[in-house]
Structures are given as structure tokens and as C-alpha cells.
Amino acid sequence: MRVVVVGSGVAGLIAAVDASALGHTVTLVTKADLGESNTHYAQGGISAVTSRDDSVPEHVADTLVAGAGLCWPEAVDVLCTEGPASITELVEWGVEFDRSGDDFARGLEAAHSHPRILHVGGDATGAGISRALVRAARNRVAEILEYTFLIDIAVEREGGRPPHVTGVTVLTASGKRTLDAEVVILASGGAGQLFRHTTNPTVTTGDGVAAAMRAGAVLADLEFYQFHPTALAVPGSFLISEAVRGEGAILLNAAGERFMTAIDPRAELAPRDVVARAVQAEMRAQDGQPVLLDATGLGKQLLDERFPSITAACRRFGLDWSTHPIPVTPAAHYWMGGVATDVDGRTSIPGLFAVGEVGCTGAHGANRLASNSLLESVVTSRRAVAAMSEPWPDNPPHARWNSLADRVRPVQEVSLDVSGIIAKRRPANGKKRDTVDRVELQSLMWDNVGLARTRDELVTAAKQFDKWRPVKEENRLFTDWEDLNLLMLAHAMTASARARHESRGAHYRLDFPTTRPELARPILVKASTDV
């Protein structure tokens, strides 16, 4: 079977290596070099039950609580139950997790009831996992195309058959190229570059989600974007791992006062959305100044040994966090939404899988539990490869939504006309559009579709999006295709946020500040025209 895997984070590397091991002909496509991905920058670690004093049911319970009533239980069960085997597979691929004697060294992070977070090199977990999997991919995958950009997913809609994937169109330094495939596995990550402040690398422009949307796939839960509470308030927004607060660091306002104890009984270890909004509120109260993360009580030795990457980053900016609190701000971190899938990564288009952050199994609900993302990437990728040779079920992602009727929570659907956005026809009003400016787009998303939203702000953002258009297709470079994707996803996320008239998890509406139980249902988005 011919398989194209798009993306080289842990999800893409696992999928490519596992599919190659089964004898499939695999082409791995990545827009930068093979090791550049969100995985590489993941500090906090990977969560899984690996000790006798912990249990899968407790991991499940913690995930459900963090997900704020919107997790899909089957996906959570699969994620947590298959966690231990996923760790075993990573070890077999050469990942060297930190040890405490003969056992794994386990850390505690927010909203976890037990220390179950495994790390590599203290705070270099993503880089450690990525290095091991890149070695495996270079040894086992038939074709690796670096610096190759996904333009579109080819879908056959004729011949009396249901729509099905036939390959992808990519852009290389030599021009466009078509890659034929019976199966396409999207593993292209999230879209942190939608926002002015993000912990994500520059490659995270939502290319897989946007391409799937153009191909006609259903998207889900787009309004739920998790903002990490603590990014270093310097150019580049370097992530300060939640594990630092797990070790005992505290948050202070500009006056040196600890504020989280008055917000939530869990204080700094409350779920990320709670901490991020509290930090934002303090920053607004102090004219936009960053808050302070005080880790001085942990001591220089622990900080140097446990968090060497963060220590080095602080030094680069002239900061010594062992003696003085450091300035931090929230930053866009992880997208719970994406291409709607079942627990095996199947999308609404036969032959198209989405694994890792690009997909939405429902396991994270409205707010991802810390360190569950790397775990989901491994679990779903393994399951997707195993499911490739199975018959494609009817509308696989819809099975979970249809059963919501048992709880009297019907699915809500949003139809989004993207034909004008991609400039294949003129806007109905005939008005000329300005070329999209990425910096302006990021600032608009941060200000109007960020941690706290209102209807007026969302409407203002949508009106501005309508005034922009991408560069004409024949003139597009890599970055122009990225801008198109960001503009499409900005439209889609804003439409989803306008449709959810409540606050839940990472989605917070100042004009609808309460959580409404009857709205514990997914919001689906699909392009309304054949683009």
C-alpha cells in the first residue's frame, strides 16, 4: 500500500516507521528538516501510568475533569489504557527516559492526581523522543522529503464511489509535485502561529487542518485553543514548563503578591485555562506588565539539574531564576480541536487519517490535561497504522457524536463559505481585498479571539478577515500558502467561538461567563462549497 505521512513530530515519525515495518511503501513529507516540530520543543514530558501507586482509572478521571465535560469517554479510555505500552515502544526505539534508580523518574503536573509524567534530560523530553524517532525513520522509511510543503489533499469524487483520498499535492524548491497514495496520514501539528504570543515553532501554521478543510473533511472543537500560562516574557515566548510549578514554583503579581491561592484551591496547579486567565487578569490590572514566576525556593542545584534548557534560556536573556523571579505571560500552546476523527484517527474522508494535534479524537475535550499530547500522538498513530488495511466504516467520526443523543446533547454544525478566502472567485460584493498581513492577523487573533472573547470582538475579527485575501495561487511561495491556511483557520476558529454561547475549558466568553450543561456538545465546521 502506498502511504503518504505529512509531518515529522512524534505522531508522523511513529506512523511512518510503523507503516514501513508492516511493508507499506511510505513517503514522509515535512516542510522543514526532519527534526523540526512541536515535539522537539516539548519540555513537560509524556504522561502514562508506570507505577503501582497509580492506575489507569485515575488517569482517566484526571483527563475527564480537565476536559470540562466535553471529553469523548471512549477516546480517553483508549488513550490512558494504551499509555504504558506506548512508553514501552518508545523505550524500544531508543528513548532514554530519566530514571530514579531502576524506576522511571516521575514528575507531577497540574490537575494530575499522581506523579506520572516521564521526562528525558530533565526538560528536553520532546527533543529526546524526536532524536530517537528521527534515527529510526532515516533507517526505515523508503522516501523522506524535507522542505516540502503540503498544498492540498487529492480526493476522488467521481465514478459512483464515495469520495476517497488519492494522494497529495506538494510544493518543493523545484515546483509542485503530485504524490499518489491510497492512504494519507496527516500529522502536521497545530496552528500556534495564529497568535501573537505562542510557544510553538514557526512551522505551526495549521497546514494539515486547512488542507483537510479544503478537501471537505469535518473539523471539530476549533474554539478550544489552550494557552500555556507561563511563557518567558521575552522575544520568542520560550516555554516555562508546567513542571516548574509542579516542583513548587509560585506566581506573583507586580507587587510581589501571590494571587493563585485566591483563585482556585489548587493554586498554581489548577488546570491551565484557570491559571492562564488568572495571569491575564493580573496583567490587565497592572497595565499589561508580565507577572512573575518565583522558582527561587527550589534552589540553584535543582533548577540546573531538573530544568537545564530553561536555565540556559534564562541566561541568554540575562536572567538568573535561581535568585530572582522571572517575567512570564500566557501564550498559545495547544489546539484541542482539529480534523474530526475516531479513536483510530479516521476522518470523514475514506483514506484520510489525522493523528496528533492536527486531529481531534475528543480525548482532550475542552481543555487538555498536561502531558497527554505526546501520549495521544503515539497512541493514535499506532492505531491508525493498524487500521489502514481495515474496511472503512461509514462516517467514522460521527459515531461518537450520534451517541450524544442518548444524553440529549445534539451536535451543533457550522457551515463556513471559504470560496472567497482562497480567491477562486471574486467576493459577491465585488470589493477589492487587501493581501493578508500575518502580523496583523496574529495581533487581531490575540486581541479578539484569545483567552477571553466577546461577541463584538469576534464579529470585528470576522469582518477584518473578510477584507483580506491571499497572494494569487500562481505567485505563492511557502509562506504565502501558510498565510492562506492561517486566514482560513482564523475564520473557522472565530466562527466556532461565536457559536459557543458559554464558557467551557479553554473557551471563555466574557458575555457568556458560565458553563451551560446543555451545551456540552461538539461544534463541527465544514466548508460549505466545493473549493
**Sequence-separated (6 or more) residues with CB below 8 Å from residue 426:** 420
Alpha-helix runs per DSSP H in 197-307: 207-215, 242-246, 272-285, 300-306
Please report the pLDDT score of residue 406 as a whole number.
47
CATH topology assigned to domain 229-330: Flavocytochrome C3; Chain A, domain 1 (3.90.700)
CATH topology assigned to domain 409-527: Methane Monooxygenase Hydroxylase; Chain G, domain 1 (1.20.58)
Q: Which three cell numbers stand for residue 150?
A: 503540503
What are the backbone angles phi and psi of residue 425, rounded to the nearest 5°? -150, 160
Please report the pLDDT score of residue 43 as a whole number.
60
Q: Which three cell numbers stand for residue 2?
A: 502506498
H or E stretch at 334: strand 326-335
Please report the pLDDT score of residue 158 as a whole number.
78
Please report the pLDDT score of residue 427 as a whole number.
47
Could you tell me the strand order of the sheet in which 2-6 lies?
143-145, 25-29, 2-6, 183-186, 352-354
Is 161 catalytic? The answer is no
Q: How far is the C-alpha of 330 from the C-alpha of 280, rounded, in Å?
A: 7
Please report the pLDDT score of residue 42 as a whole number.
58
Half-sphere exposure of 30 (CA within 13 A, CB side): 23
A 10 A CB-CB count for 316 gives 12
Q: Which of 116, 196, 245, 272 is catalytic?
A: 272
Please give the model's pTM, rounded to 2 decimal places.
0.91
Report, as ranges of residue numbers, the positions in the chain whose pLDDT lies below 50. Answer: 405-408, 424-428, 530-531
pLDDT tens by residue, 274-290: 899 899 899 989 998 99
Q: How far is the C-alpha of 232 from the C-alpha of 246, rounded, in Å?
A: 17
With CA atoms as reference, report the closest residue to 39 among 144, 153, 187, 138.
187
With CA atoms as reference, report the closest residue to 229 among 194, 288, 270.
270
Could you tell me the strand order of the sheet in which 523-527 lies?
359-360, 338-340, 219-220, 523-527, 412-416
Conformational region of residue 245, where left means phi above 0, alpha means psi within -120 to 50, and beta covers everything else: alpha
**Domains in the chain: boundaries:** 229-330, 409-527
Please report the pLDDT score of residue 359 as a whole number.
97
Please report the pLDDT score of residue 405 as a whole number.
44
C-beta separation of 233 from 293 below 8 A: no
Q: How far is the C-alpha of 306 from the C-alpha of 248, rounded, in Å?
A: 13
Handedness of CA 505, 375, 72, 107 (dihedral sign): negative
C-beta separation of 407 from 522 below 8 A: no
Please report the pLDDT score of residue 525 as a whole number.
93
Per-residue HEC secondary structure of 19-31 comes to HHHCCCEEEEECC
